[in-house]
Structure 1
Amino acid sequence: MAIVNRCAVGIYPAAHLLAWAERLDLDTTAGGAREPCLYLIPDFETNDEAEEILKEIYEAIFEAELDFWNRDSGTWPAEHTYSVFRKWFEVRFYPLIQDLVGEEITATELDEAFMGDLRTALEGLENPS
């Protein structure tokens, strides 16, 4: 067992996001739709420090979460401020990450080409021919 030199933030859909999704006829009851996404963030000592870290990175999380729900960015809220983010998502900080696997952790950088391929593959799953 090892302690990972990261903390995490869990992002849960809140009432504002679910209302938006329902207006778009998106399935808010599908398996995993209300489960959190976890994002690794730098180590923090206090929740105030974690909040400051989140303020620096929330835009990327906001965009990723909205894209998960609906890839049509024209349907996204016009305002992407931190206060809007906090209305759309519930946040929970996880200060300790333990690795129970015992194998090397790897990470893959996601570039635009990879993301485009992933979107195409996901669209194929949603709209089988």
Structure 2
Amino acid sequence: MYFVDRCVAVIKPREPFVAWLNAVPGNDAELSLESLRADCTVILLPEFTDPEEGVACIDDLYDKLFRMELASWYDDESLWPADRSLKTFWEWFDVEIHSTVIDSVDADLTNSPAGFDE
């Protein structure tokens, strides 16, 4: 096992995200908060010594993260909420920041663009 020179943030939907998702026209499935929080997005962040640095990093990335979370459900941006401010991001998502990342795989990492760099 190897220490990785990154930290991580786990992006967890909150009730307002679930309410939006369940209100999208044509969505026939009633999704629960519990089901959405069971498998969440994990973002690698630069290493930091103070947890507030991780929060600041999320603040810098919030627009991309917000768009990524919405696009993972609907590509049609006309269905997205109009208010995608930093305040709304923090109301719609909990973010867990962790400073230790360990790679348990004895192979090189492979990187590819996520496609959300708009």
The verdict on a shared fold, with TM-score over 0.5 as the criterion, is yes
Counterpart for residue 67 of structure 2: 63
Change (3 A) 1:52 1:110: closer
Q: Does 1:99 align with 2:99?
A: no
Amino acid at match of 2:96: R
Gaps of 5+ in 1: 113-129
SS at 2:72's partner residue? Answer: helix
The structural deviation recorded for 1:14 is 0.5
Relative to the length of structure 1, the TM-score reads: 0.78
The structural deviation recorded for 1:94 is 1.5
1:55-110 deviation per Cα after TM superposition (whole angstroms, max 9, x unaligned): 11111111000001222111111122111001111110111110011111110124
Larger-gyration structure (1/2): 1
Q: Give the number of aligned pairs.
A: 111
Matches within 5 A, 1:86-125: 86-110=90-114
Relative to the length of structure 2, the TM-score reads: 0.84
Counterpart CA distance in 2 for 1:92 and 1:26 is: 30
Counterpart for residue 77 of structure 1: 81
Counterpart CA distance in 1 for 2:94 and 2:73 is: 16
Change (3 A) 1:66 1:23: same
Q: RMSD value over aligned CA atoms? A: 1.9
Give aligned-pair identity as a percent: 26
